[in-house]
Structure 1
Amino acid sequence: MNHDTLKKALESFNLLTPAEIDDFIQATTNKRLNKSEYFIKAGETCKSVTFVLSGLLRSYHTSDKGDDLTYCITFPNNFMTAYSSFLTNQPTQENIQAITDTELLSIPKDKIENLAKTSLNWLHFQKIIAEQQYIELEKRIFLLQGTSATKRYADLLKNQPNYIQHIPLQYLASYLGVSQRHLSRIRKDFPF
Protein backbone atom coordinates (compact mmCIF):
# COMPACT_ATOMS: atom_id res chain seq x y z
CA MET A 1 0.00 0.00 0.00
CA ASN A 2 1.17 3.50 -0.76
CA HIS A 3 2.10 5.37 2.41
CA ASP A 4 2.83 8.68 0.66
CA THR A 5 -0.40 10.28 1.85
CA LEU A 6 0.37 9.51 5.49
CA LYS A 7 3.96 10.65 5.03
CA LYS A 8 2.81 14.01 3.63
CA ALA A 9 0.34 14.42 6.50
CA LEU A 10 3.07 13.77 9.07
CA GLU A 11 5.49 16.10 7.26
CA SER A 12 2.88 18.87 7.33
CA PHE A 13 3.34 19.18 11.11
CA ASN A 14 6.94 20.36 10.53
CA LEU A 15 7.94 18.56 13.69
CA LEU A 16 9.09 15.01 13.01
CA THR A 17 12.38 13.97 11.44
CA PRO A 18 12.34 11.78 8.32
CA ALA A 19 13.51 8.85 10.47
CA GLU A 20 10.68 9.43 12.97
CA ILE A 21 8.15 9.54 10.15
CA ASP A 22 9.54 6.29 8.77
CA ASP A 23 9.31 4.70 12.24
CA PHE A 24 5.65 5.75 12.49
CA ILE A 25 4.82 4.42 9.04
CA GLN A 26 6.58 1.12 9.76
CA ALA A 27 4.46 0.72 12.90
CA THR A 28 1.18 1.00 10.97
CA THR A 29 -0.90 -1.82 9.60
CA ASN A 30 -3.28 -1.70 6.66
CA LYS A 31 -6.93 -2.15 7.45
CA ARG A 32 -9.94 -2.17 5.17
CA LEU A 33 -13.51 -1.66 6.31
CA ASN A 34 -16.38 -2.48 4.01
CA LYS A 35 -19.37 -0.15 3.99
CA SER A 36 -21.26 -0.42 7.32
CA GLU A 37 -18.42 -2.23 9.13
CA TYR A 38 -17.20 -0.80 12.42
CA PHE A 39 -13.84 0.53 13.47
CA ILE A 40 -15.11 0.34 17.06
CA LYS A 41 -18.45 -0.22 18.79
CA ALA A 42 -19.81 1.18 22.04
CA GLY A 43 -18.59 -0.88 24.97
CA GLU A 44 -15.20 -1.68 23.40
CA THR A 45 -11.92 -0.08 24.42
CA CYS A 46 -10.04 1.78 21.71
CA LYS A 47 -6.42 0.72 21.45
CA SER A 48 -5.33 2.37 18.21
CA VAL A 49 -5.27 5.51 16.13
CA THR A 50 -6.02 5.31 12.45
CA PHE A 51 -5.33 7.46 9.42
CA VAL A 52 -8.06 7.48 6.78
CA LEU A 53 -6.54 6.93 3.33
CA SER A 54 -9.87 6.70 1.50
CA GLY A 55 -13.53 6.46 2.35
CA LEU A 56 -15.71 8.03 5.02
CA LEU A 57 -16.34 7.19 8.66
CA ARG A 58 -19.06 8.42 10.97
CA SER A 59 -18.89 8.64 14.73
CA TYR A 60 -22.21 8.35 16.51
CA HIS A 61 -23.80 7.48 19.80
CA THR A 62 -27.27 6.23 20.60
CA SER A 63 -29.62 8.48 22.56
CA ASP A 64 -31.81 7.33 25.43
CA LYS A 65 -34.65 7.17 22.89
CA GLY A 66 -32.65 4.79 20.70
CA ASP A 67 -31.81 7.33 17.99
CA ASP A 68 -28.37 7.26 16.37
CA LEU A 69 -26.84 10.73 16.61
CA THR A 70 -23.99 11.33 14.16
CA TYR A 71 -21.66 13.94 15.62
CA CYS A 72 -18.55 13.51 13.49
CA ILE A 73 -17.75 12.54 9.93
CA THR A 74 -14.11 11.74 9.19
CA PHE A 75 -12.92 12.41 5.66
CA PRO A 76 -9.76 11.09 3.96
CA ASN A 77 -6.35 12.37 5.04
CA ASN A 78 -7.37 12.71 8.68
CA PHE A 79 -6.46 10.89 11.88
CA MET A 80 -9.29 9.34 13.85
CA THR A 81 -9.83 7.39 17.05
CA ALA A 82 -12.35 6.98 19.85
CA TYR A 83 -10.34 9.62 21.67
CA SER A 84 -11.71 9.44 25.21
CA SER A 85 -11.45 5.67 25.28
CA PHE A 86 -7.97 5.79 23.76
CA LEU A 87 -6.78 8.18 26.48
CA THR A 88 -8.46 6.56 29.48
CA ASN A 89 -8.41 2.85 28.51
CA GLN A 90 -12.11 2.78 29.37
CA PRO A 91 -14.87 1.41 27.11
CA THR A 92 -16.16 3.93 24.60
CA GLN A 93 -19.71 5.22 24.35
CA GLU A 94 -19.35 5.88 20.64
CA ASN A 95 -19.52 3.83 17.49
CA ILE A 96 -17.27 4.52 14.52
CA GLN A 97 -18.67 3.04 11.34
CA ALA A 98 -17.63 3.07 7.68
CA ILE A 99 -20.08 5.03 5.52
CA THR A 100 -18.30 3.77 2.40
CA ASP A 101 -15.61 1.18 1.74
CA THR A 102 -12.68 2.62 3.66
CA GLU A 103 -8.92 2.12 3.67
CA LEU A 104 -7.04 2.86 6.88
CA LEU A 105 -3.54 2.78 8.28
CA SER A 106 -3.74 1.98 12.00
CA ILE A 107 -1.12 2.18 14.72
CA PRO A 108 -1.61 0.52 18.11
CA LYS A 109 -1.41 2.55 21.29
CA ASP A 110 1.54 0.56 22.63
CA LYS A 111 3.58 1.40 19.53
CA ILE A 112 2.70 5.09 19.91
CA GLU A 113 3.82 4.93 23.54
CA ASN A 114 7.08 3.25 22.50
CA LEU A 115 7.72 5.98 19.92
CA ALA A 116 7.09 8.62 22.60
CA LYS A 117 9.91 7.12 24.65
CA THR A 118 12.38 7.69 21.81
CA SER A 119 11.87 11.42 21.17
CA LEU A 120 10.20 14.47 22.66
CA ASN A 121 8.91 15.20 19.16
CA TRP A 122 6.29 12.51 19.68
CA LEU A 123 5.01 14.18 22.83
CA HIS A 124 4.76 17.46 20.94
CA PHE A 125 2.99 15.64 18.11
CA GLN A 126 0.46 14.12 20.53
CA LYS A 127 -0.10 17.55 22.08
CA ILE A 128 -0.79 19.07 18.65
CA ILE A 129 -3.25 16.28 17.80
CA ALA A 130 -5.05 16.81 21.14
CA GLU A 131 -5.21 20.55 20.50
CA GLN A 132 -6.61 19.97 17.01
CA GLN A 133 -9.27 17.65 18.43
CA TYR A 134 -10.28 20.32 20.93
CA ILE A 135 -10.40 23.03 18.27
CA GLU A 136 -12.54 20.84 15.99
CA LEU A 137 -14.92 20.11 18.86
CA GLU A 138 -15.19 23.79 19.72
CA LYS A 139 -15.83 24.72 16.08
CA ARG A 140 -18.52 22.05 15.87
CA ILE A 141 -20.26 23.38 18.99
CA PHE A 142 -20.14 26.95 17.70
CA LEU A 143 -21.49 25.87 14.31
CA LEU A 144 -24.38 23.95 15.86
CA GLN A 145 -25.26 26.72 18.28
CA GLY A 146 -24.51 29.78 16.22
CA THR A 147 -25.28 29.14 12.56
CA SER A 148 -28.28 28.04 10.58
CA ALA A 149 -28.58 24.53 9.16
CA THR A 150 -28.39 26.07 5.68
CA LYS A 151 -25.04 27.68 6.51
CA ARG A 152 -23.74 24.43 8.05
CA TYR A 153 -24.73 22.53 4.91
CA ALA A 154 -23.18 25.18 2.65
CA ASP A 155 -19.92 25.02 4.61
CA LEU A 156 -19.81 21.24 4.37
CA LEU A 157 -20.58 21.38 0.66
CA LYS A 158 -17.81 23.95 0.16
CA ASN A 159 -15.20 22.03 2.17
CA GLN A 160 -16.05 18.46 1.13
CA PRO A 161 -17.79 18.63 -2.27
CA ASN A 162 -16.39 15.30 -3.47
CA TYR A 163 -17.71 13.35 -0.52
CA ILE A 164 -21.01 14.87 0.54
CA GLN A 165 -23.05 12.89 -1.97
CA HIS A 166 -21.75 9.64 -0.47
CA ILE A 167 -23.19 10.37 2.98
CA PRO A 168 -26.68 8.89 3.43
CA LEU A 169 -29.35 11.48 4.11
CA GLN A 170 -30.14 10.25 7.64
CA TYR A 171 -26.47 10.52 8.72
CA LEU A 172 -26.04 13.91 7.10
CA ALA A 173 -29.24 15.25 8.70
CA SER A 174 -28.15 14.00 12.13
CA TYR A 175 -24.68 15.50 11.67
CA LEU A 176 -26.21 18.87 10.74
CA GLY A 177 -28.71 18.71 13.60
CA VAL A 178 -31.86 18.78 11.43
CA SER A 179 -34.59 16.39 10.34
CA GLN A 180 -34.27 14.57 7.04
CA ARG A 181 -37.24 16.54 5.73
CA HIS A 182 -35.57 19.86 6.61
CA LEU A 183 -32.33 18.71 4.98
CA SER A 184 -34.21 17.80 1.80
CA ARG A 185 -35.60 21.34 1.65
CA ILE A 186 -32.14 22.83 2.20
CA ARG A 187 -30.56 20.65 -0.51
CA LYS A 188 -33.03 21.94 -3.10
CA ASP A 189 -31.25 25.31 -2.91
CA PHE A 190 -27.84 23.75 -3.67
CA PRO A 191 -27.68 22.06 -7.07
CA PHE A 192 -24.79 19.64 -7.50
Structure 2
Amino acid sequence: MNSEIFQNTYQHFLLSEEDINQIASFHKKRSFVKDELILAKDQVLESYYLLEKGVVRAFVNDMDNNDITTEFFIDGDIVIIPSSLFQQIPSQESLQAVTDCEVWEIKYDDFQEVFRSIPSFAEWGRLWFTYQLFTLKQRSLDMITISATNRYLKLSKEKPQILQTVPLKFIASFLGITDTSLSRIRKEIVRA
Protein backbone atom coordinates (compact mmCIF):
# COMPACT_ATOMS: atom_id res chain seq x y z
CA MET A 1 0.00 0.00 0.00
CA ASN A 2 1.32 3.45 -0.94
CA SER A 3 1.13 5.31 2.38
CA GLU A 4 2.28 8.58 0.77
CA ILE A 5 -1.07 9.23 -0.90
CA PHE A 6 -2.90 8.75 2.41
CA GLN A 7 -0.39 10.92 4.30
CA ASN A 8 -0.80 13.70 1.70
CA THR A 9 -4.58 13.44 1.33
CA TYR A 10 -5.48 13.13 4.99
CA GLN A 11 -2.89 15.60 6.21
CA HIS A 12 -4.15 17.29 9.36
CA PHE A 13 -2.39 18.05 12.64
CA LEU A 14 -5.10 16.23 14.63
CA LEU A 15 -4.71 12.98 12.65
CA SER A 16 -2.00 10.70 13.99
CA GLU A 17 -0.08 8.24 11.87
CA GLU A 18 -2.17 5.50 13.50
CA ASP A 19 -5.38 7.34 12.48
CA ILE A 20 -4.15 7.66 8.89
CA ASN A 21 -3.23 3.96 8.78
CA GLN A 22 -6.71 3.09 10.06
CA ILE A 23 -8.32 5.34 7.43
CA ALA A 24 -6.10 3.81 4.72
CA SER A 25 -7.22 0.30 5.72
CA PHE A 26 -10.74 1.12 4.49
CA HIS A 27 -9.48 1.91 0.97
CA LYS A 28 -9.19 -0.65 -1.85
CA LYS A 29 -6.92 -0.31 -4.87
CA ARG A 30 -8.75 -0.01 -8.22
CA SER A 31 -7.90 0.78 -11.81
CA PHE A 32 -9.86 2.46 -14.56
CA VAL A 33 -8.90 2.38 -18.21
CA LYS A 34 -8.82 5.40 -20.50
CA ASP A 35 -12.34 6.60 -21.42
CA GLU A 36 -14.02 4.34 -18.84
CA LEU A 37 -17.11 5.84 -17.28
CA ILE A 38 -16.68 5.78 -13.51
CA LEU A 39 -20.09 7.32 -12.81
CA ALA A 40 -22.90 7.97 -15.27
CA LYS A 41 -25.44 10.77 -14.94
CA ASP A 42 -28.39 9.72 -12.76
CA GLN A 43 -26.37 7.08 -10.91
CA VAL A 44 -25.68 7.48 -7.20
CA LEU A 45 -21.98 7.72 -6.32
CA GLU A 46 -21.27 4.91 -3.85
CA SER A 47 -17.56 5.69 -3.25
CA TYR A 48 -14.98 8.37 -3.55
CA TYR A 49 -11.47 7.83 -4.87
CA LEU A 50 -7.98 9.04 -4.06
CA LEU A 51 -6.40 9.47 -7.47
CA GLU A 52 -2.88 8.07 -7.27
CA LYS A 53 -2.13 8.30 -10.98
CA GLY A 54 -4.02 9.60 -13.99
CA VAL A 55 -6.62 12.18 -14.96
CA VAL A 56 -10.38 12.04 -14.40
CA ARG A 57 -12.95 14.56 -15.50
CA ALA A 58 -16.44 15.43 -14.33
CA PHE A 59 -18.84 16.52 -17.05
CA VAL A 60 -22.47 17.32 -17.86
CA ASN A 61 -24.48 17.69 -21.02
CA ASP A 62 -25.98 21.15 -21.45
CA MET A 63 -29.44 21.97 -22.83
CA ASP A 64 -28.16 21.43 -26.38
CA ASN A 65 -26.56 18.11 -25.37
CA ASN A 66 -23.04 19.54 -25.60
CA ASP A 67 -20.48 17.76 -23.41
CA ILE A 68 -19.17 20.33 -20.86
CA THR A 69 -16.26 19.47 -18.56
CA THR A 70 -16.94 20.81 -15.06
CA GLU A 71 -13.81 19.59 -13.25
CA PHE A 72 -10.49 17.86 -13.73
CA PHE A 73 -8.92 15.60 -11.11
CA ILE A 74 -5.19 14.84 -11.19
CA ASP A 75 -2.68 12.87 -9.13
CA GLY A 76 -3.38 13.38 -5.44
CA ASP A 77 -6.93 14.71 -5.86
CA ILE A 78 -10.07 13.25 -4.35
CA VAL A 79 -12.41 12.22 -7.16
CA ILE A 80 -15.89 12.92 -5.91
CA ILE A 81 -19.30 14.38 -6.69
CA PRO A 82 -20.12 15.52 -3.14
CA SER A 83 -23.87 16.04 -3.56
CA SER A 84 -24.38 12.55 -4.97
CA LEU A 85 -22.14 10.78 -2.45
CA PHE A 86 -23.14 12.53 0.75
CA GLN A 87 -26.84 12.98 -0.01
CA GLN A 88 -27.02 9.60 -1.78
CA ILE A 89 -28.92 11.14 -4.69
CA PRO A 90 -28.56 10.65 -8.48
CA SER A 91 -25.68 12.66 -9.89
CA GLN A 92 -26.19 15.40 -12.45
CA GLU A 93 -22.56 14.90 -13.50
CA SER A 94 -20.66 11.96 -14.92
CA LEU A 95 -17.10 10.92 -14.09
CA GLN A 96 -14.77 9.60 -16.79
CA ALA A 97 -11.16 8.41 -16.78
CA VAL A 98 -9.35 10.59 -19.32
CA THR A 99 -6.24 8.41 -19.00
CA ASP A 100 -5.59 5.02 -17.43
CA CYS A 101 -6.01 5.63 -13.69
CA GLU A 102 -4.90 4.05 -10.43
CA VAL A 103 -7.13 4.96 -7.49
CA TRP A 104 -7.83 4.07 -3.88
CA GLU A 105 -11.57 3.62 -3.38
CA ILE A 106 -13.45 4.09 -0.13
CA LYS A 107 -17.12 3.11 -0.01
CA TYR A 108 -19.68 5.49 1.44
CA ASP A 109 -20.53 3.18 4.35
CA ASP A 110 -16.84 2.73 5.18
CA PHE A 111 -16.36 6.50 5.07
CA GLN A 112 -19.25 6.87 7.53
CA GLU A 113 -17.64 4.30 9.83
CA VAL A 114 -14.29 6.15 9.76
CA PHE A 115 -16.09 9.45 10.34
CA ARG A 116 -17.76 8.02 13.48
CA SER A 117 -14.74 6.14 14.82
CA ILE A 118 -12.00 8.80 14.36
CA PRO A 119 -13.19 12.15 15.77
CA SER A 120 -10.34 14.15 14.22
CA PHE A 121 -11.36 12.87 10.77
CA ALA A 122 -14.46 15.06 11.06
CA GLU A 123 -12.23 18.12 11.50
CA TRP A 124 -10.20 17.09 8.45
CA GLY A 125 -13.47 16.77 6.50
CA ARG A 126 -14.66 20.21 7.59
CA LEU A 127 -11.43 21.81 6.39
CA TRP A 128 -11.49 19.83 3.13
CA PHE A 129 -15.06 20.99 2.40
CA THR A 130 -14.19 24.58 3.26
CA TYR A 131 -11.33 24.48 0.76
CA GLN A 132 -13.59 22.92 -1.91
CA LEU A 133 -16.21 25.63 -1.38
CA PHE A 134 -13.56 28.34 -1.72
CA THR A 135 -12.18 26.72 -4.89
CA LEU A 136 -15.66 26.44 -6.44
CA LYS A 137 -16.47 30.06 -5.64
CA GLN A 138 -13.15 31.23 -7.07
CA ARG A 139 -13.73 29.25 -10.29
CA SER A 140 -17.16 30.89 -10.66
CA LEU A 141 -15.63 34.33 -10.19
CA ASP A 142 -12.78 33.55 -12.61
CA MET A 143 -15.27 32.62 -15.35
CA ILE A 144 -16.74 36.12 -15.04
CA THR A 145 -13.80 38.31 -14.11
CA ILE A 146 -10.74 37.06 -15.99
CA SER A 147 -10.11 36.52 -19.68
CA ALA A 148 -10.07 33.12 -21.34
CA THR A 149 -6.33 33.52 -21.89
CA ASN A 150 -5.76 34.11 -18.19
CA ARG A 151 -8.02 31.18 -17.27
CA TYR A 152 -5.89 29.01 -19.56
CA LEU A 153 -2.67 30.32 -18.00
CA LYS A 154 -4.05 29.70 -14.50
CA LEU A 155 -4.95 26.11 -15.45
CA SER A 156 -1.48 25.59 -16.92
CA LYS A 157 0.08 26.81 -13.67
CA GLU A 158 -2.19 24.91 -11.26
CA LYS A 159 -2.63 21.66 -13.21
CA PRO A 160 -0.03 21.42 -16.01
CA GLN A 161 -0.73 17.68 -16.27
CA ILE A 162 -4.10 18.58 -17.82
CA LEU A 163 -2.51 20.40 -20.75
CA GLN A 164 -0.19 17.45 -21.43
CA THR A 165 -2.76 14.63 -21.33
CA VAL A 166 -6.29 15.91 -21.93
CA PRO A 167 -7.95 16.37 -25.34
CA LEU A 168 -8.30 20.05 -26.27
CA LYS A 169 -12.10 19.80 -26.60
CA PHE A 170 -12.35 18.93 -22.87
CA ILE A 171 -10.02 21.77 -21.89
CA ALA A 172 -11.95 24.25 -24.05
CA SER A 173 -15.30 23.29 -22.53
CA PHE A 174 -13.83 23.54 -19.01
CA LEU A 175 -12.58 27.05 -19.81
CA GLY A 176 -15.95 28.02 -21.30
CA ILE A 177 -14.60 28.63 -24.81
CA THR A 178 -14.67 26.97 -28.21
CA ASP A 179 -11.96 24.67 -29.55
CA THR A 180 -11.08 27.39 -32.09
CA SER A 181 -10.64 30.01 -29.37
CA LEU A 182 -8.42 27.65 -27.40
CA SER A 183 -6.23 27.03 -30.46
CA ARG A 184 -5.90 30.79 -30.98
CA ILE A 185 -4.98 31.34 -27.31
CA ARG A 186 -2.35 28.60 -27.43
CA LYS A 187 -0.81 30.09 -30.60
CA GLU A 188 -0.72 33.57 -29.04
CA ILE A 189 1.02 32.22 -25.93
CA VAL A 190 3.65 30.41 -28.01
CA ARG A 191 4.33 33.61 -29.99
CA ALA A 192 4.62 35.76 -26.83
TM-score normalized by the length of structure 2: 0.94
Greater CA deviation, 128-137 or 156-165? 156-165
Distance in 1, Cα, partners of 2:9 & 2:185: 34
Q: Does 1:45 align with 2:44?
A: yes
Q: Identify the range of structure 1 (88-97 vs 1-10) with the bigger mean alpha-carbon deviation.
A: 1-10
Counterpart of 1:147, as a letter, is I
| Contact 1:59/1:72, CA 8 A, preserved across alignment | yes
Query: Residue by residue, what CA displacement relative to the aligned partner does 1:66-102 show, whole Å, maximum 9, x if unpaired?
Result: 1111111111111121111111111111001011111
String of CA shifts for 1:102-142, please: whole Å, max 9, x gaps.
11111111111111221321211221121122111101101
The one-letter amino acid paired with 2:143 is L
Which is worse superposed, 123-132 or 102-111? 123-132
1:37-186 alignment runs, 5 A limit: 37-186=36-185
Letter matched to residue 46 of structure 1: L
Give 1:39 shift.
1.7
Figure out how many residues of one structure are paired with residues of the other and give that number.
191
Checking the alignment, whether the CA contact within 8 Å between 1:7 and 1:25 is kept in structure 2 is no
Displacement of 1:157 in angstroms is 1.2
2: CA distance, partners of 1:68 / 1:163: 17
Pair 46,162 (structure 1): closer, same or farther in 2 beyond 3 Å: closer
Distance 1:162 1:109 in 2: 29
Is the contact between residue 44 and residue 90 of structure 2 (CA under 8 Å) also seen in structure 1? yes
Inter-partner Cα distance in structure 2 for 1:176 and 1:57 = 16
Q: Which runs of 4+ in 1 moved over 3 A?
A: none
Q: Aligned-pair distance for 1:25?
A: 0.7
Q: What do the CA deviations read for 1:2-60 (whole angstroms, capped 9, x no partner)?
A: 2322223323x223111110011111011111110022111110111111111111101
Separation of aligned partners in 2, 1:20 and 1:107: 15
Cα RMSD of the aligned pairs, angstroms, is 1.5
Gaps of 5+ in 1: none
Maintained 8 Å contact 1:42/1:94: yes
Q: Residue type matched to 2:148 in 1?
A: A
Stretches of structure 2 that go unaligned for 5 or more consecutive residues are none
| CA distance in structure 1 between the aligned counterparts of 2:162 and 2:67, rounded to whole angstroms | 21
Rounded to whole Å, the distance in 1 between the matches of 2:121 and 2:149 is 40
Which whole-Å CA distance do the structure 1 matches of 2:10 and 2:116 have between them?
18
| Identical aligned residues as a percent | 25
Amino acid at match of 1:24: I
Q: Residue 8 in 1 paired to residue 34 in 2?
A: no
CA distance in 2 between counterparts of 1:27 and 1:113 reads: 11
